Amino acid sequence: MKKVFILGAGLSGLSLAYHLQKRKIVCQIFEREKEIGGLASSKQISGFYLDHAGHLLHFKHKRIFSFVKGLLGNSLIKHKRNASIYSFRRFVPYPFQVSLFALPQKIKEDCLKGFIEAKEKNFVINNFQDWIMKEFGKGIARYFMVPYNQKLWQHDLHDIALDWVNWSIPKPDLEDVINGALGIKNRQFGYNPVFFYPREGGIGLFPESFPVSGKRLFNQSAEKIDLKKHCVLLNNGEVIRYRWLLSTMPLHRLVLSLKDPPGWLLSACKKLEYVSVLNINLGIDRPDVLPFHWVYFPEEDKPFYRIGCPSNFSRTVAPKGTTSLFMEISLKPDQNHDIAALTRECIESLKKCKILRPEDKIVSMYPILLEYAYVIYNSARSATVKKIHAYLNRHHIYSFGRYGSWIYSSMEDAVLEGKSNAERVIQISG
């Protein structure tokens, strides 16, 4: 069997390589950056370990949990989530929909009334906006669900489909919401009530510990792909000929790198919408600046949709006596952004929310721009991705991973996708 070429050494590419190697299939990984890990990598700057936005390990599958524990063993810390939402100048425990007790009386009443009314109504659900109104009612929609999601997705919620909401958004019943209004919490909500994080070194420890041997070629990106000749032109001018090409680069970018793509494919590519995230990391010269793991910000006057505190995930990611914070801002990719101005605005907002004190000193500041951060589940996504994948598969290109499959998925999903694509390679190669 010929060598399998893999584009990208993020978790999906690493998992594919690992599962192929287990079956003695030779593969070679080409990675655009100078290190492995993709979105799950970490950087060390001025004594702080910085992740590409908050990256916490949570598991749906016992066997993936066992696999990760096998890799990281005692270096994993287990945390009970301590997250909140900053709303009406206070911290409301996450999830908002079952913590109405913490809100001002009038807002609590609106949310409760709206929830009850929605349960009594018949809804036709065509999109995410309709789903929010049905599942949560007018009040929770107005004060949290709609503004938060508009901030995150930067997209009309009427044009967002539903194939991602069930796993990611907690859906309480009436009893839960009433309990939440009374301050009673008797069960856990969401996909990450507990999560894991490396004891030292940031989330980057996870991809680094992946048992993949052999050649990984760094600073080598696929620039042009010739489907007729089965060739990839790399940034260093080298041309590789592939029998099967397994790509984890963003599907959108992959299509744009094809030589002479048909017109319909370029039109389809325009339907692959996404948002970028600017993740601004701060080091502050005071310990325990924030008591939470992370906080959501639905209100329009704060530029970030979420901030987090990595030094609460592991004390070792920030020097003694300091705190590390990250602030995530969702941006439309086709706009120019003034990162310095955004950073100033974010710091001002932290001060207004009394998270930063006037005397606090910022000892480290490092913005990271994630160009492809969240793919938008617009109404065209599902059919468009299927059509593009079918075309690529006919030319022996298999596109997978968070951006190759064009999905909203986790690190655990990336490991699983690597495994299932290894099985696919074994099957197609006979």
Interaction of residue 40 with ligand FAD, rule CB under 6 A: yes
Strand partners, 28: 5
Interaction of residue 98 with ligand FAD, rule CB under 6 A: no
Interaction of residue 8 with ligand FAD, rule CB under 6 A: yes
CA 257 and chain centroid, separation: 24
Stretch that binds ligand FAD, among 111-119, 258-266, 384-392, 396-404 (CB under 6 A): 396-404
Alpha-carbon distance 274 to 376, whole Å? 5
Q: How far is the CB of 302 from ligand FAD (least distance, A)?
A: 17
Alpha-carbon torsion 340, 341, 342, 346, what sign? positive
Q: How far is the CB of 52 from ligand FAD (least distance, A)?
A: 7
Q: How far is the CB of 390 from ligand FAD (least distance, A)?
A: 20
Stretch that binds ligand FAD, among 19-27, 89-97, 357-365, 397-405 (CB under 6 A): 397-405
Interaction of residue 30 with ligand FAD, rule CB under 6 A: yes
Helix (H, G, I), strand (E, B) or coil at 245: strand
- Residue 179: phi and psi, rounded to 5, are -55, -45
Q: How far, in Å, are 15, 91, 214, 303 from residue 413 at the CA level?
A: 10, 31, 24, 29
Helix (H, G, I), strand (E, B) or coil at 126: coil
Interaction of residue 107 with ligand FAD, rule CB under 6 A: no
Alpha-carbon distance 402 to 417, whole Å? 9
Interaction of residue 403 with ligand FAD, rule CB under 6 A: yes
Interaction of residue 249 with ligand FAD, rule CB under 6 A: yes
Stretch that binds ligand FAD, among 128-136, 147-155, 165-173, 405-413 (CB under 6 A): 405-413
- The residue assigned the tokens 């065509």 is 126
Kindly state the DSSP code that residue 240 receives in the 8-state scheme. Answer: E
Q: How far, in Å, are 218, 231, 382 from residue 258 at the CA level?
A: 22, 10, 21
Question: Residue 379: exposed, middle, or buried by beta-carbon count in 10 A (0-12, 13-18, 19+)?
Answer: middle
List 197, 272, 401, 422, residue binding ligand FAD (CB under 6 A): 401
Interface with ligand FAD: number of residues (CB under 6 A): 34
Interaction of residue 9 with ligand FAD, rule CB under 6 A: yes
Q: Are strands 27-30 and 4-7 parallel, antiparallel or unpaired?
A: parallel
Q: Which residue, 179 or 410, has its beta carbon nearer to ligand FAD?
A: 410
Q: How far is the CB of 31 from ligand FAD (least distance, A)?
A: 5
Interaction of residue 248 with ligand FAD, rule CB under 6 A: yes
Alpha-carbon distance 204 to 281, whole Å? 16
Site for ligand FAD in 265-304 (CB under 6 A): 277
Helix (H, G, I), strand (E, B) or coil at 429: coil
Helix (H, G, I), strand (E, B) or coil at 73: helix
The interface mask with ligand FAD, positions 56-75, x = CB under 6 A, is x-------------------
Interaction of residue 407 with ligand FAD, rule CB under 6 A: no
List 5, 12, 283, 290, residue binding ligand FAD (CB under 6 A): 12
* Nearest in space to 305 (alpha carbons), one of 336, 330, 274, 279: 330
List 161, 370, 380, 426, residue binding ligand FAD (CB under 6 A): 370
Alpha-carbon distance 329 to 364, whole Å? 18
Alpha-carbon distance 23 to 418, whole Å? 13
Q: How far, in Å, are 131, 155, 378, 390, 402 from residue 161 at the CA level?
A: 9, 12, 6, 21, 17
Alpha-carbon distance 218 to 215, whole Å? 10
List 181, 272, 325, 414, residue binding ligand FAD (CB under 6 A): 414
Interaction of residue 43 with ligand FAD, rule CB under 6 A: no
Interaction of residue 172 with ligand FAD, rule CB under 6 A: no
Q: Which residue, 310 or 401, has its beta carbon nearer to ligand FAD?
A: 401
Interaction of residue 208 with ligand FAD, rule CB under 6 A: no
Stretch that binds ligand FAD, among 26-34, 237-245, 358-366, 386-394 (CB under 6 A): 26-34
Residues making contact with ligand FAD (CB under 6 A): 7-13, 30-33, 38-40, 53-56, 221-222, 248-249, 277, 328, 370, 373, 401-403, 409-412, 414
